[in-house]
Amino acid sequence: MTYRVSGNGWFASAWRNNPVTLAMVLAMAWIFLLGFGGAHLAAWLVFDTGNPVNLTLGAFTYPLVTNDIIALLLGGYMLWIFGSSLERGWGTRFYVLYLLVVNLITLVVWEGGLLLFAHGTLPMSGPWLMLATLVVAWASLNPEEKILLYFVLPIQAIWLAALVVVVMFFTYPGMIPPSPLRYIMGFFTLGGPAAAVAYDWYRRKWAWIPRRRDTPARRPLRLRAANPFAALLRPWQEWQRRRRVAHLEKTFRFGDDEPRGKR
């Protein structure tokens, strides 16, 4: 008996449309397993100024390193949802360039804040600051879109981005040692989101949109990444539509001189 691997499966489709995002999610899982198994390779991927390898390689790989199962599952899910949407909208080449630039900006701003207010740098790892940047970038492209927060609460993309920024501002500085100026470090978590907002401002002002190799040179001005939660929102949107129709039927009254069914 022979088996044939279909090229139309989910994995093949995901790899064809979102190769970078899928590779990053798989890399997060692989690095987590390496660290969980006690391998020292994962330690080389953390950013740390005390080691030349960590200083160079870790500057690019630190968002993929985590030893927390919650960060792996939730972070991997958020990376896939928002990252794949941006990769489809921007194209793989620009998406990779964008990730490299904003992750380096995030790193420089955070470590610079530590030098100023914590009198030294700390090892840096984890996906949360990168994910906050991706959420802000996606929301800037789709400010009116609605998604389901925790799969239950509908929330506009712009408010989701604001919520993520606030969470990062107040929680991330708690990871550093106690200091009188510790919570000033909240401002230094905003390097990546600020870069995302700056890029969106530049795109709107100069009407610049990254070109993809598989699309014509002339593209519409408004680039919208697909809403990854559209299918989940359809039942809620249909329920809202039925409520509006029922309200109209209940409140609308024909005049005495206007027969029903006619204008």
Contacts 24+ apart (CB under 8 A), 68-72: 68/126, 69/32, 71/126, 71/127, 71/128, 72/28, 72/29, 72/32
**Considering the domain boundaries, does residue 105 fall inside one?**
yes
Do the beta carbons of residue 71 and residue 84 sit within 8 Å? no
Check pLDDT > 60 for residue 260.
no
In the prediction, which pLDDT does 13 show? 77
Percent of the chain with pLDDT over 90: 21
Assigned domain for 83 exists: yes
Which domain CATH number covers 236? 1.20.1540.10
| pLDDT winner (highest mean) among 115-129, 204-218, 248-262 | 115-129
Q: Is 177 helix (H, G, I), strand (E, B) or coil?
A: coil
What pLDDT score was predicted for residue 5? 41
Res 224 pLDDT > 50: no
171 vs 39 pLDDT, higher one: 171
> What is the total residue count of the chain?
263
pLDDT at 54 exceeding the cut of 90: no
pLDDT category at 133 given cuts 50, 70, 90 is very high
Q: Maximum CA pair distance of the chain? A: 87
**Side chain identity at 90, as an amino acid letter?**
W
Residue 155 lies in a domain: yes
pLDDT, position 15: 81
Q: Provide the residue range defining the domain that includes 121.
A: 10-251
Helix 157-171 / helix 128-141 crossing angle, nearest 10 deg? 160
For residue 231, being part of any structural domain is answered with yes
131 falls in which pLDDT band (50, 70, 90)? very high
When pLDDT is averaged across residues 152-178 and rounded to a whole number, the result is 83
**Residue 3 included in any domain:** no
Q: Is residue 103 part of a domain?
A: yes
Tokens of 190: 């905003």
Would you say residue 128 has pLDDT above 70?
yes
Minimum mean pLDDT range among 5-14, 35-44, 88-97, 212-221: 212-221
Q: What is the pTM of this model?
A: 0.73
Return the higher-pLDDT residue of 260 and 56: 56
Q: What domain count does the chain have?
A: 1
| 132 within domain boundaries | yes
Domain assignment of residue 81, yes or no: yes
pLDDT of residue 147: 76
C-alpha to C-alpha distances, 261 to 31, 243, 247, 255, nearest whole angstrom: 67, 22, 18, 12
